[in-house]
Amino acid sequence: MSKKNFIQAAVLLVSAFAFCMTVSSCDEKKEEPQPAKTLKSVKVEYDFTLNENWYRYFDITVEYTSNEGVKTFELTEAWSDSFVIPYSKENNTFVCHVIATPKSEYPEIQDETDMSTSLKWVVTGIYSDGTDDGGFVGSSTTSKPYPVSAKVLTSWMEKDSRILLNYDYNLTD
């Protein structure tokens, strides 16, 4: 065997050895399968604020999911609520409807009327390990002030109702 062939064979052998060491040193770690997360409970938060003019011109009705089921009430001032309820596949729909119905008697409509609103809701699934799903956050906020012309407000008053917020949310695990 010539010296040149010997050197080539030695380089090839060292390269092969280095390659084998590199490949064998990569220890593949097998991750243990994580148990599936299951929803344990649901945190629901509501925060509603309407400009006072809404109450002057409209009756405001709120229908929402509470820890006692779906409830309905007349909104007459700013309102907020928050609670945690157990999650169940049979009872996983969360609703929130805010409806403004024109009053039969209301003050004279001005040239411009501030009709600003701030309606916020959050539905968060809480898993059995204590983590949460990041929440479904929804909001509907107008700039402050939110001037509405007399013509627009008059057209609102001629309708049966005005939907300020309408959502139905299905939480699934």
Q: Across all residues in the chain, what is the average pLDDT?
A: 81
Residue 1's pLDDT is 57
- 137 has which bridge partners? 122
Q: Are 62 and 119 in contact (CB under 8 A)?
A: no
Residue 106: HSE in the Cβ half-sphere, 13 Å Cα cutoff: 19
Number of domains, the chain: 1
- Residues 1-23: what's their mean pLDDT? 56
Tokens of 122: 């959050």
Q: Are 75 and 100 in contact (CB under 8 A)?
A: no
- Residues 18-46: what's their mean pLDDT? 69
Distance CA 159, CA 168 (A): 23
Residue 36's pLDDT is 72
The verdict on residue 10 lying in a domain is no
Residue 125's pLDDT is 83
The verdict on residue 4 lying in a domain is no
Per-residue pLDDT of 125-151, as tens digits, reads 888 888 888 776 565 666 577 899 999
Whether the upstream peptide bond of residue 35 has omega within 30° of 0, thus cis, is: no
Distance CA 59, CA 62 (A): 10
- Residues 100-118: what's their mean pLDDT? 93
The verdict on residue 17 lying in a domain is no
The verdict on residue 92 lying in a domain is yes
The verdict on residue 3 lying in a domain is no
The verdict on residue 33 lying in a domain is no
Distance CA 172, CA 38 (A): 10
**DSSP code at position 95:** E
Query: Which residue range(s) make up the domain with 139?
Result: 39-170
pTM for the whole structure: 0.71
Residue 4's pLDDT is 58
The verdict on residue 111 lying in a domain is yes
Distance CA 36, CA 15 (A): 45
pLDDT of 16 above 80: no
Tokens of 113: 């009327």
* Amino acid, single-letter form, for residue 163: I
The verdict on residue 132 lying in a domain is yes
Q: Are 43 and 87 in contact (CB under 8 A)?
A: no
Per-residue pLDDT of 55-105, as tens digits, reads 999 999 999 988 888 999 999 999 999 989 888 877 778 888 999 999 999
